Structure 1
Amino acid sequence: MTDIKTPIRLGNLDLKNRLAMAPMTRSRAQPDGKPGPLAATYYAQRAGMGLIISEGTQPSDEGQGYIFTPGIYTDAHVQEWQKVTQAVHDKGSHIFIQLMHVGRTSHPDNTPGNAQAVAPSAIVPGDQMFTLDGMKPVPEPRALTAEDITRTVDDFRKAARCAIDAGADGVEIHGANGYLLQQFFAPNANVRTDAYGGGIENRARFAIEVARAVSEEIGAERTGIRLSPGTTLGGLEEGPEGPDLYRYLMRELNDLGLAYVHLMHIGNEDLLADIRKAWGQALIVNRPGRALEKVGSDIASGVADLESYGQYVLTTPDFVERLSSGEPMNSPDKSSYYGGGSEGYTDYPTLKERAPA
């Protein structure tokens, strides 16, 4: 029977197991967007996972929303990411860099040049955003013009090339969690009347164009995409047509032959089954809050090809080893999830480090 220890072919990679590290923002990058000095250590510590998916990484100045998140669009970014990818490869794993454009989920205080955020439409999300001066309301974004959309698609393409130049095995396009791509999906965030708004096909168009541009630039076998059907993060409401939008999107993305789809799944089992049928490549499923005793159940049942985990891997670098041994995981320190230095980042102990000398 297939289980989490069974190797799998993902795109052009042979993964040693079917566990992926989910992307997690840690807000420890340098002010200019270069990965922080401990990033290589952090990811290498967790290289027992078959696949590592990096924290959300902006493809442009305009794509940044949070403080101290990394970028992958300058030569300096590439040079620092090379240290991270090499460290992961030296530990026998593979890494995809997640390309995250936050769209309207931003604040000018957190962006280079204090720029106004962009979005499908000029609609305030109604959220608060952490800045160095504390929590502030997210202001109204600027609606992207048709020319802006073309440029933004090209930003994703160029960032994907930078990721490969940095030694990454591929990229994951972030189309989930209330950020720019999903904002196009949601009727309450997208009231456009052009080719990118209105019906299902139009609201899915931007995501498809980004996926096509990235896969043409670096190869479909190096391109994944993350989706979160039905999530309301960032104030989004996908409405009654939401499931059908994702069914349409799956058919279009499947034609591109991407390496994988990564689903943050929150409970529409019928939609999950339809996606499984429509999708011809690897499917990664992430179920937030999944109990440890359920790890591997989606793989065993055939629902997923891989499963991804976030908090467990954040707190327990040797997550795979502890699954095998039955040893308990480290307890999380949520106060150190975002920002800071090594505490709560690279200082979670492994079993060997906890053992008496």
Structure 2
Amino acid sequence: MTAFAKKPRSLLFNIAENDSSMKDLLISTSLKGDMQFWNAATRSMIANKGPEHFYKNGWIEELCWITPTTLALCMGRSKPEANVESSVLLTHIKEVKRDDVDIRVQAFNENPHVKEMLDIAPVQLGQTGSVGVERASFVTGGSDHLVCLWDMIRDSPQEDFALTDVNKLNINHTNSVQALCYDSYNDRLYTGGADSKLFTYDMVSQKTINELRIGNRINHIEKNPKDPNLSLISQAQTSDQFAIYDQRMLGVCGLQLSFGFSESENLSRYIKPDWHQDGYIVVCGSQSESKVHFWDIRYSGVQRGPCFSLPTQGTAPSRILQTLFLPNRNTLLSVSSTRTMTWTDFSVQANSKISTI
């Protein structure tokens, strides 16, 4: 179905496992500058909050959950010289109704980046020590080569966060920072950039503990949902776009497996893969045709190409920009450059591949 007025940008499922009103909440954004709220159970849009709520001169470039009811947004500009009303926005979800979502938007005037931000990701810095005080933190990466850590506190969910600190982390990227991923198990931050460098930053010692140059620009870093030591690295290449990185191995030895699909152009950073919750199936949309590809990293021949592919809705050729396995349900969601959203139901049998229902 056609779901967007302009090209979609992001898909994000909620993390509020214990909140019955939000257990089916799905978030999407588009280049129109709006944010859509969906009910994943009924597959219907609950509300569409227009750009007047966020940023009238651009769109939401990227977003992430920093609490179960709060999203952090970094904004994209329609023109490089456009006035930036706020560097980062927070969207507090106050109530999810059957046909509407009640939100409160909070803006920060602080901007440690001298150019636009490209990615944002949550981190966990622990409690403050004060009873009843909630702490939230996130990192941003930009085209200015910087990675910045934002730290905030508040006394109750009904209040806005107070920004306590913004620090530039000592991570020496020499080009745009396009990928951020926090590993809560090891308390490490992984950053990837257009300089083809993958950094591992220890959040406790506040030092870079590993620097690795890989084949090409790093588009995304996705943690394996089962093994905290493994990450999926997505690169801007015409083949072997993905690598499984094992942080227990030093240097290039950590790149344990490469696989991908054949494309005529380098894979765009706006095409985003996803892990299945079982931790062994990877999905990614095609850049040249209306298909989604699947790889099973347990398969010895995975380097030869996708294990299988599925067509999506629509007849016009389109890029499949993002694919997302919905947690705890056998549903795959994909959005395309022709502004369509496709819901695909599947089944997974033990020791076998995905098949559509």
Same fold at TM > 0.5: no
Work out which structure has the larger RCO, using CA pairs closer than 8 Å and 6 or more positions apart in sequence. 1
- The structure carrying a bigger helix percent of its residues is 1
TM value normalised by structure 2: 0.29
- The structure carrying a bigger strand percent of its residues is 2
TM value normalised by structure 1: 0.29
